[in-house]
Amino acid sequence: MDGFGICGLQLAGRAGNNVDSMIEEIDGVKRRFPWVQMMLLGELNAHGARVADAEPLPSAAELAFAEAARRNQIWLIPGTMYERVGAEVYNTASVINPAGQVIARYRKVFPFCPYERGVACGKELCTFDVPGVGRFGVAICYDMWFPELVRALALRGAEVILNPTMTNTIDRDVEVAIARANAAMNQCYFVSVNVADRLGCGESCIFGPGGELIHRAGKTREIIPVELDFAYLRRVRRTGWHGLGQPLKSLRDSTMNFATELSPATRARALQDLGPLAMPSAMPSDGSV
């Protein structure tokens, strides 16, 4: 199969339980667009950004989403939920197959510190295969700001990066640029689905493997069904976008070893002068940024 129907649901949630309304939207999309095979919703859309609502998984909400996936025969990534594991809380995305089985849970590696307080860092990447279609990777919101993470997903074979997001700040336009750069650098589809209205500022976006814009949403509720063309993506990886750069093959063929430069010890030495990762309290008096 070369074509694959995916739909981003940019929903207008509220602080509180949105699970029932999300499932109504999922059912409605499948009725209107029966060719859609996967749906992706925004980060923390289910309950809002309240760490106090964290629950062990599987939870009642995850089970309800699993039933919605089974009923509609779709792959479903229902955004994320805060997951409690002992004393720790993680920002976790569940990957549910059309049989209603949770086949993976990805814990956000880079919580939005210092604002996303009380949330632990995940330690494992997440890729999964849709049989007969291709390989998908998951990167939650702020993860997209770290090219090392997205590159690692591409090196694991990911052809589509799914990026559930909750952004309600002025840097969404920057995130759209980062999404485009990630798509172009890794010759992949990049699907970034934000929440809208009270929870987020919308502007979900989908970019193709040449960095080309497929769709950029407005700021309010929007349903975004598109077809991903895997034959086209693989052709871009083989011959370049419009016959231009072939960055993945250049990376493959390079003899440069980046491991030392990216090691934790090297990062600690190189960036130690930045100070602690803490909430800013005031602008520096010397005018520096």
Q: Is the pLDDT at 289 greater than 70, yes or no?
A: no
Give the tokens for residue 275. 């100070």
Number of domains in the chain: 1
Q: What are 8-51's pLDDT values in tens digits?
A: 999 998 888 999 999 999 999 999 999 999 999 999 999 999 89
pTM value? 0.95
Could you tell me which of 136, 137, 42, 25 has the C-alpha nearest to residue 91? 42
Measure the CA–CA gap between 266 and 264, rounded to whole angstroms. Answer: 6
Per-residue pLDDT tens for 194-215? 999 889 999 999 999 999 999 9
Domain-embedded: residue 281: no
pLDDT-based confidence at 65, cuts 50/70/90?
Answer: very high
Q: Is residue 27 in a domain?
A: yes
* C-beta neighbour count of 73 within 10 angstroms: 13
The pLDDT value recorded for residue 281 is 83
Residue 113 is assigned to a structural domain of this protein: yes
By C-alpha distance, which of 10, 18, 27, 75 is closest to 50? 18
Please enumerate in sequence order all residues whose Cβ is within 8 A of that of 200, keeping only pairs 6 or more positions apart, or say none: 42, 165, 166, 167, 168, 194
Residue with tokens 């949630």: 13
Residue 285 within a domain: no
Residue 152 lies in a domain: yes
Residue 278 forms part of a structural domain: no
> Cα Rg for the chain, rounded, in angstroms?
19
Q: Give pLDDT, residue 15.
A: 84
What is the residue range of 31's domain? 3-273
- The model's confidence at residue 259, banded by pLDDT at 50, 70 and 90, is confident
52, 64, 9: which is closest to 32 by C-alpha? 9
CATH number of the domain at 210, please. Answer: 3.60.110.10
Q: Is residue 287 part of a domain?
A: no
Is residue 214, in this structure, part of any structural domain at all? Answer: yes
**Average pLDDT for the chain:** 95
State the sign of the Cα–Cα–Cα–Cα dihedral 128, 130, 134, 139.
Answer: negative
